[in-house]
Structure 1
Amino acid sequence: MMQVQKPQDAYVQVNEVQWQDFPEQFHTGGVKWKLLHVSPEFGIWTVMFFCPNQSILRSHIHHGPAEGYVFDGILELRGGPEKGGALCIKDGYLYEATGAEHEETKMLADTTFILQMVGPITWLLEDGTQLNQTWFDAQNLWNQQTR
């Protein structure tokens, strides 16, 4: 008889989790992160970011949908409204569709937001290479940083 393993519940007291440095190849300006949860059965990973004013998350591609909420600050998405993008301001919700490919995401103030991603992200690095980041990669990095 085959045993089915039940997924584990997770409860995170976010203010008790220490910020870690987000890998420098994915940003400029001192971005920090907290990995809050991974759900391997669906490939879902939930991250909280703190991005200082004028920091930038590099161009990337979402291979699954992502949903987020901005607690504080201002995200300039896809070049802002002048270039057909958007601003996501404190108390703002954001949704990135599967296949969304966009240029840098710039912070116009100290910004804290949460993002839940389904599937991997491909980062388009400064040297022209591409690097995939999955829930598994995020979990391994988090484990290394928090040992």
Structure 2
Amino acid sequence: MIEDKTVDVFVKASEEKWLPMFDGITFKPLRFSDETGAWTVIFRCEKEAFFPAHYHLGPAEYYMVSGRMVYRAGEAVTGDYGYEPVGAFHERTNFPEQTDLYFTAFGPIGFLGDDGRIETVMDHKYVRDLAEKAGKLN
């Protein structure tokens, strides 16, 4: 008989508080993997909020829970799914209305400064640190 030593991940996301990420954008942490570097969150983006210019150093995917998002691939609305490959560059990702999206990154995202260079590398450790500083993780 095989002994199962794994641990399932179960998060009551509906009971978690929204944590700050960017102006007008909050998140609920769901999972961080030291094994793979992947991280999963739910983003809440207020009307007129945006993600600044960024470069995908690892692939990512999202599911639109509600709202609308406009970026280089087009306009995503409630129920839409998107995949962003390694190397994808997004000038700016806009949210014309309040939007909730389920997001998994399979690697880091490099956010650019005004000079066009990567200023902040957002990976699973960075996002986990944000959650820890907000008192949401041990």
Q: TM-score, normalised by structure 2?
A: 0.88
Q: Residues 127 and 33 from structure 1, CA distance in 2 versus in 1: closer, same or farther, beyond 3 angstroms?
A: farther
Q: Residues 126 and 41 from structure 1, CA distance in 2 versus in 1: closer, same or farther, beyond 3 angstroms?
A: same
Q: TM-score, normalised by structure 1?
A: 0.83
C-alpha distance after superposition, 1:33-70 (max 9, x if no partner): 11110111011000110001111110111111111100
- 1-side partners of 2:110 and 2:134: how far apart? 21
Contact 1:73 1:111 in 2 (8 A): yes
For residue 83 of structure 2, give the secondary structure of its aligned residue in structure 1. strand
C-alpha distance after superposition, 1:56-87 (max 9, x if no partner): 11011111111110010000012xxxxxx310
Q: Which has the higher helix share?
A: 1
1:139 paired with 2:128, answer yes
Q: Equivalent residue for 1:115?
A: 103
- Tell me the amino acid that sits aligned with residue 46 of structure 1: T
- 2:46 aligned residue (52, 58, 72): 52
**Stretches of 4+ moved more than 3 A in 1?**
126-129
Q: Structure 1 unaligned runs (5+)?
A: 1-5, 79-84
Q: Residues 7 and 134 from structure 1, CA distance in 2 versus in 1: closer, same or farther, beyond 3 angstroms?
A: farther
